[in-house]
């Protein structure tokens, strides 16, 4: 199974994680199960909102890039962005 690197960004902070899966789309736990203080602006209430919204919407391919997708989630008016990078084939 391919290895994916997930890079999450929120309010100027970033967090990276990895996991091996058959595809990147269905494995929200790889990027949404964040350790405490991984993204300081992500309060418990916003983390709960993220959990509720994580499966909504689609990852979009980043133009002119291979094996790179982006997803944006609105959390109380702020943008939570996660990138999925197919790191290993």
| Residues facing residue 11 across a β-bridge | none
pLDDT at 33: 73
- Is residue 35 within 8 A of residue 42, CB to CB? The reply is no
| Residues facing residue 60 across a β-bridge | 70
Indicate the domain borders of the chain: 3-88
Across the beta sheet with 3-10, the strand order is 13-20, 3-10, 78-88, 68-75, 60-61
Prediction pTM value = 0.86
pLDDT in tens, 4-50: 999 999 999 999 988 888 887 756 776 767 788 889 999 989 988 98
Q: Which residues contact 35 (CB under 8 A, 6 or more apart)?
A: none
């Amino acid at each position: 199974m391919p290895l994916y690197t997930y890079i999450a960004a929120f309010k100027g902070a970033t967090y990276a994680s990895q996991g091996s899966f058959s595809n990147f789309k269905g494995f929200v736990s790889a990027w949404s199960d964040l350790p405490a203080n991984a993204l300081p602006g992500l309060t418990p209430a916003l983390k709960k909102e993220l959990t509720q919204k994580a499966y909504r919407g689609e990852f979009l391919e980043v133009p002119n890039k291979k094996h790179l997708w982006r997803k944006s989630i609105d959390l109380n008016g702020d943008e939570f962005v996660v990138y999925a990078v197919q790191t290993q084939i």
